[in-house]
Structure 1
């Protein structure tokens, strides 16, 4: 390209800044010196159609020097099938506490069979992340053979182990060759075996088993029963019918007012409650018989009880010249008016959500229920 004039078409302003600015320093100057070897003329991009190929290549980079095959593999797509039987998830964990492996077998009926093993031979034999992944895969296949399983689909987040099992990558490391040889013997005992690479975020169950085994050092003579994981849909206190909060009809600032006026605490207050009350009362002041709270700018805000707070929210939000603002804006406007209570923002947001006029005349929500992913397809060129 040194013998020709090159027109660089790009929509990136930093490149234009690099070519147009006469004086540069540090790293920008070094880049400009390297680019001055070529006769480059910067042209601002005006059409998106001409950059479709470059955008596609940038989104799907090729790591090695292989040629890009743009033929659509119809015969491979037509031959893709999936197993509806047993599934195996494996993962390994290596950290400062030790090494652990986790395996999860899922039956066709949805039964989960977890296994978690701590590797205690790291002092005698070297262990790395890939070796731990090999150990996890071997453990899963051995467990499947013990259960009499001959058709299984293997899922893992170790790309190296899966590629070497399938023969796509060569096993050049001396430490991996014994594992690979033993793994080939196990694979030969299955009738049908499929491999699928998963992201780490989709292999959380096996990762949790491996991390638990690596972090916990269980004594040899200890007996660990099978782990039972339950799903609880309600908090624990919902089971207690008698232990409920009693509404005494007092305002929320009752204890603060009596502490500032008389210097006394609640009868059932502990040492921690007394310290928290002293820290909270430092922001309040009594003027006459009324309790106020000091704001950040030194303004005194009148403390309101529940009934007065509901009346103020209704008046400011939908009263005379009420603009029906959002919940957070409503709370800030009430504070500028000179009122305060502890749960202002939460109460204002709930009040706005219950406002009929806001629900009828509010803007429609166009946000999709799930996250959208951009898909780039080639532009239809006309020949």
Structure 2
């Protein structure tokens, strides 16, 4: 390939990777034209070289003898020194920084930071050390000023690079440990591996925080440090299990996807890696971890374990009482000694109260001190031999001196470590006690069987537990179940299950999903308990927001119950139609009455629809013509609920049956008649719309003389026992009109009246069959809803006449059912105890779950 081509390097690397694809990563490493053959022993090395040379001869590759070196125990590769000890920084690069003079310009500072960046893998907290240089570069427009802070940082870097650490090479698949340190301006991490109980650094990562990042909470800074490290060291994170050692609850923050904002984004980004979060269980391990990350530049000096004495000073960052402070010191000492692996301990304290409470000489009554005592007893249980002694205050001068030092700034040269206690230790105790209460949960038998091999005494139950436990395992002290969408599902108890349901359903990332979606979402997040689906249904059913904004079901709540009349003119349905365009005489409305047996219609145009006008219509159009009816069905309009109409009906013994609010099906025949009249008027009118009263009688006459589907007879025939003579029979005579005879007609009329009862019975039978077919088709769509007095219900807001906006709830309430009004209608009572005036149909109600 000719020199100078832009893709020459990439093509050459592709060729090398293709030729040595079997050797790369095993016995050979290559980066473009830098290649190295690696072997564990000399004999293996000869065989490996022979294999590589054979591949080179096969493809015709040649080597430059002057640039080739063989059988080296250490050598330079890609700017680093590789040896059996590990990876070392190139001495020339370190010496180049050490020999540098203090920069005298911005350009020289930039050159210095560039050299340090090339060695950043070996420098712990390099970003924090170089922070003064970065600040100086940012101020280049204000002039160059190399101050004492820059000179001090420059000196620390030179001192550090004089003895740089040796980076260890990890073994494929072994776990690596990540330690984190953060402050207000930078984040630093150290990736280490453990070999024979000794932790060796693999890579140091450091980064200066930007302006917005400096305001992250501490837990987010720690999470951000993991993300930055994972991005920079992606090959390490992909090839090794990562164990993050931290005091922060990062497992909860990044181990679930029901968080919001940056943490959710980072959790998704880190989910592809095998990351486990380990807690720093003792202050000594915390100090060790901080020392690994911060290097030797911290404010304390570790003491050799072979020394006679370790000095620790405690600084409590909350406001404890004197006795609480004594207990905190007692607990801290136990934790530090336990971290060393000691099995015997002698404790000398000048607190008479604490010593005697631990020895059970004094009774502990204070609730806070009881919790501290439980914590102490748990820690003491880790030792084989414990001796607790009380000593006078005067014999404890060393501890007094340390307590005074903890309240002040310590001299960096003093061999004293100050340990800070951010919060009471008993908070951790309460959390641990809560998490380990397995005996009260559903998974108790499985947990006992998997951890201790204990089975219930009942043989059938024991056999069931054995078979069921095959689906479970213990992962990091958590009971997990095998899943299909998720490798392992963490088993949770009742309290945590309720918390997960509420947070997922109505928390920051919740959107009030339906039960099935809610259950799936929780399972996909990696949680399990047997009643998940049932609990999700119960939570959604009882969620107030879900109930008030629930979809309106258009399925009928109960079976169809048609209204039947035993004989003509027994039951009438009345309704108001309009308003129409104002006609002559200010007519705007039509009052309609339909008889339920014969389907006969009476209608009249009105200018006003007052209660008195409706009463006059009932009196003159119905009572005076067809007699007093047994019952009238109306809606809840004021004209029907007014005093004149109700008093008139009461005086004649007429029952008024009011339809449920916003439920026209209760007076269905009247509604159908209204539709028929309206359609007839629209088709009749030509020209101006205010002539509709002129055609009202024609439309009503056409309806009354037309056979109905339910009876197969016209209303006229069922009322008068004969079919009406319509105008067409006069224009085009039929046999009935041609052979008309007064005497014969009178005789035939008497015969028809004799059999009119039979005619009506036939019509009644046909109507019953028609209603049966209609009821059978209707009942297929029924979704039953059962209510009884005392139930709490919601009603449709639109049915109550409320304006419903886009964001308004479609249901209002709750209300209590007082009594049934018959045929799935109910009277309601509001929260103040006031009974609503009208009844409400079950189709406008839904049960409310508090």
Q: TM-score, normalised by structure 2?
A: 0.15
**Larger RCO, structure (CA 8 Å, separation 6 or more):** 1
Q: TM-score, normalised by structure 1?
A: 0.32
Higher helix share: 2
Larger radius of gyration: 2
